[in-house]
Structure 1
Amino acid sequence: MRIGEIASRAGVSRDTVRFYERMGLLNEAAQPHLSNNYKEYSALALRRIELITHAKALGFTLREIADVIGAWEQEALAPGEKRVLIREKIREVENKAHSLAVLRVALSEALDKVESGCSDELPA
């Protein structure tokens, strides 16, 4: 896939694809023909962009995403160390899920108050 196709399929801009590549979130795309500047992106690159987009939508920073990707790809890390790092990220996801659930309850309670005509205003 060329950059336009991968960007379209992933729902991001071409600049975003280039940015992720510069940040090291994507492996350098192959340039099969030295006679032009076209790069070929793999299906793995598409899946990676989709993962990044999803993680960002859930509130993870690009640095946090890069940490997980880096841990996964580091050959210097033993499998046990990779498991520890990934489990740590899973705990962070679980903590965020819990925080979101608490926020949802609070918002639902606020909505119930608004719909019932109750007010939190102090009397004058």
Structure 2
Amino acid sequence: MKAFCEATGLTRDTVNFYVRLGLIEPAGNGSATNSYRDFDEDQVEAAQMITMAKSLGFSLNEIKHLAERYRSADMDTYAQASILREQLVKLEERRSTLEAMEQALNAKLARIEAKTETPVGEMPAA
């Protein structure tokens, strides 16, 4: 578990939470004498994708739904590729929204700074 946490940047509590939610599945649950969980590269990749998806505004429910669809035993590679394409479209929409927000904030900042002689970021504290 320690190596998995270091590889993913997640805390032990977060990993356990994700396992309970079914977002990641340990490769093994250890022997009957211990409660250690084994994780392989697939789980590291899944955890990293969860972290990225969360940073892009996806909820854990959305992530879980996508993961379940993607891991579905009856899903062929065409269907998996289709899911990934859908997500790429959503990411592009989010990117467009973020770029519009960035432009709006830059315009507002420029209007504020135009009213002063010193850029706002360089103004002395009051």
2:75 maps to 1:77: yes
Number of residue pairs the alignment of both structures matches? 116
Gaps of 5+ in 2: 117-126
Q: Is the 8 A contact 1:68 1:89 kept in 2?
A: no
Deviation string 1:43-102 (CA, Å, 9 cap, x unpaired) is: 221111111111111111112212221222112234443333332222111110110111
**RCO greater where, 1 or 2, for CA within 8 Å and sep 6 or more?**
1
Gaps of 5+ in 1: 119-124
Match of 1:87 among 80, 85, 88: 85
Measure how far apart 1:113 and its partner are.
1.1
TM-score by length of 1: 0.81
Match of 1:37 among 21, 35, 38: 35
Match of 2:23 among 22, 25, 33: 25
TM-score by length of 2: 0.80
Task: Give aligned-pair identity as a percent.
Answer: 27
- Whole-angstrom distance in 2 between the partners of 1:83 and 1:18: 29
Q: Is the 8 A contact 2:26 2:43 kept in 1?
A: no
- Within 5 Å, give how 1:58-73 maps onto structure 2: 58-73=56-71
Aligned-partner residue type, residue 66 of structure 2: V
RMSD: 1.8
